[in-house]
A and B are shown apart, each in its own frame.
Chain A
Amino acid sequence: MYKIESKNVDFFYGTSQALKNINIAIMQNTVTALIGPSGCGKSTYLRLFNRMNDLIGNTKLTGQILIDGEDIYAKGVNVDSLRKNVGMVFQKPNPFPKTIFENVAYGLRVNGVTDKKLIEERVETSIKQVVLWDEVKDKLKKSAFELSGGQQQRLCIARALAIQPSVILMDEPTSALDPISTSKVEELIYELKSKYTIVIVTHNMQQAGRVSDTTAFFYMGELIEYDNTKTIFTNPKIERTQNYITGRFG
């Protein structure tokens, strides 16, 4: 069974159609890259998976998005519970103005975890998972703003991991980072694959090539091609994909 399935998905902002008939099926424990020029709908598409687009008024979705076979837009679905299972990492590192510890503990606290020991354990495991522990273990009570941009982004990933989601969405997670921090996050994505299903939006072709198993190329709200990353990058079936990847347009 697929982890995520998108069936005939159309999405509208008011009257303008942002996504046209998107069909994708994503396997568990894989990394899927969404690529395409600005405004092609890839970020909008990513935000359908945790219903982040609900926050915007006057939008409409038709078709189905299934996670573990469940239609996440069906009646009776609790959006908060959905988001607990589908974590998100944003373009700009956005830790809360709280301590490093409280940033990671936040998701647990809002989901009703009060057991102090459990929280401490989870915070530690999550920070270790993003290979940040040695850098922050002595300053957990310090503000998260004291960390560098790259550290902040890894902290944000730890924050998402702490509530043990099964899917992680990443919206251009390295676009605000320097090359070294970027490669650290990329390594991390590779590591996390064994436990999570990851969908990542990226503008960086090399990054898509390095971290992902499958790649979806979007153009003007349409899914042009969706295949193994290797195939997309070496032997795309559609010319437009080839042109985009080789940098001839976009």
Chain B
Amino acid sequence: MIDIKENKLARSKQRKQAIAFAIFRVLSYSIVAILFIILTFIIMKGVKVINWNFITQMPEEGMTKGGIYPAIIGTLCLVAGSMIFAFPIGVLAAIYMNEYVKDGIAKKIIKQMTNNLAGIPSIVFGLFGMSLFVNKLHFGDSILAGSLTLGLLALPVVIRTTEEALKAVDNTFRQASLGLGATKWQTTRRVVLPISFPNIITGLILAIGRVSGETAPILFTVAAYFLPKLPTSIFDQAMALPYHLYVISTSGTNIEESRPIAYGTAMVLIIIVLIANLLANGLRKYFGNKVKMN
């Protein structure tokens, strides 16, 4: 006869499980709550100033009135510039590391250095960017110098996410391709990359999110306190959202009066990152489907 009745041991096991899951549940939802609180806070404070003029007009009256158009454009330029630099290099480095180098010293060194690069404080990147790009290479305070500095910062993110994406590709696909006489490069290009592409795109977007919010690296390399005009070339200075936020909250002409604009700026910044994330999801799904049908 089997004993399937409720007993003391069974009850105690159940209770322990219930308690454990209750704790996990609370903690998980608290993450959602934190995000929700931040978002509501920013939106409540910022939504008042947001209108068409705010995102299409120049700042006015010592940045206490008017819009943040040049800062939006500046940030978009910097994001694009840094990605043009970091994305190809990062992806190629990750391919090299994951597909070509056999396990050994060389791979360990590259990996360790990538991790170290990720650990460098962003203000140090800023300082380095200033001494190398701005001064040594004579780019001056410019979108080019800022983009390169931000690109350096984004590199480890791109490398790491790309590597993860490549690792997720089942080895049997590689073996099948190589087994048909394909070279490693053919295998990478025709089989591995198409499969991992959706995840690589996710890495790109994560990097964009990281880059668009950084203040320290652009501080000495590109960011302008106030510019009455838009940049016309990559050698121009530019305003940028995070720096603008910093300026009007700490050293503006009238900090109290510019407070609403600060929240508005924060909200625009968040929205840009949010759009990037949604775009990432969309692209991921799109390419994910395409991979199957290709």
Contacts and interface: CB of A to CB of B under 8 A. Distances in A.
Contacts of A156: 176
A163 to B, nearest CB: 6
Interface string B161-199: 000000000101111111111110010001100110000
Given A98-B294, A143-B292, A90 B176 contact: yes
Contacts of A84: 180-181
Contacts of B102: 57
B195 A106 contact: no
B291 interface: yes
A167 B186 CA distance: 23
B294 A159 contact: no
A102 B186 CA distance: 15
Interface in B241-294: 291-294
Contact of A160 (B103, B104, B179, B182): B179
Contact of A99 (B103, B104, B179, B293): B293
A145 interface: yes
Given A55-B175, A57-B104, A96-B191, A107 B180 contact: yes
Contacts, number: 76
A238 interface: no
Interface residues of B, number: 25
Interface string A91-103: 0101011110010
Residue among A92, A99, A110 with the most chain B CB within 10 A? A110
A110 B190 contact: yes
- Tell me whether chain B's interface is mostly helix, strand or loop, or mixed: helix
The number of chain A residues touching the other chain, given as a range, is 20 to 34
B292 A87 contact: no
A135 interface: no
Interface in A39-89: 50, 52, 55, 57, 80-81, 83-84, 87-88
B180 A55 contact: no
Contact of B178 (A55, A57, A97): A55
Given A110-B182, A143-B292, A96 B175 contact: no
A246 interface: no
A38 interface: no
Contacts of A81: 181
B179 A83 contact: yes
A124 to B, nearest CB: 18
A83 B175 contact: no
Nearest to B170: A94
A106 B176 CA distance: 10
A228 interface: no
Interface in B107-163: none
Contacts of A88: 175-176, 179
Contact of B181 (A98, A110, A145): A110
Given A99-B294, A143-B293, A110 B186 contact: yes
Contacts of B174: 55
Contact of B294 (A83, A97, A107): A97
A83 B149 CA distance: 45
B180 A110 contact: yes
Contacts of A52: 175, 178-179
Residue among A97, A142, A156 with the most chain B CB within 10 A? A97
A235 B141 CA distance: 86
Nearest to A84: B181
Contacts of A110: 177, 180-183, 186, 190
A80 B181 contact: yes
A43 to B, nearest CB: 12
A106 B291 contact: no
Given A110-B186, A110-B190, A97 B180 contact: no
A159 B177 CA distance: 10
A94 B294 contact: no
Contacts of A204: none
Contact of B176 (A80, A94, A143): A94
15 contacts: A55-B174, A55-B178, A80-B182, A84-B181, A88-B176, A94-B172, A94-B176, A96-B177, A97-B194, A97-B292, A98-B294, A106-B180, A111-B180, A160-B179, A163-B181
Interface of B: 102-104, 170, 172-183, 186, 190-191, 194-195, 291-294
Closest 7 CB pairs of A and B: A84-B181, A107-B180, A57-B102, A110-B182, A88-B179, A94-B172, A83-B181
Given A107-B181, A143-B292, 10 more contacts: A55-B175, A81-B181, A83-B179, A97-B291, A99-B294, A102-B294, A107-B180, A110-B177, A145-B292, A163-B180
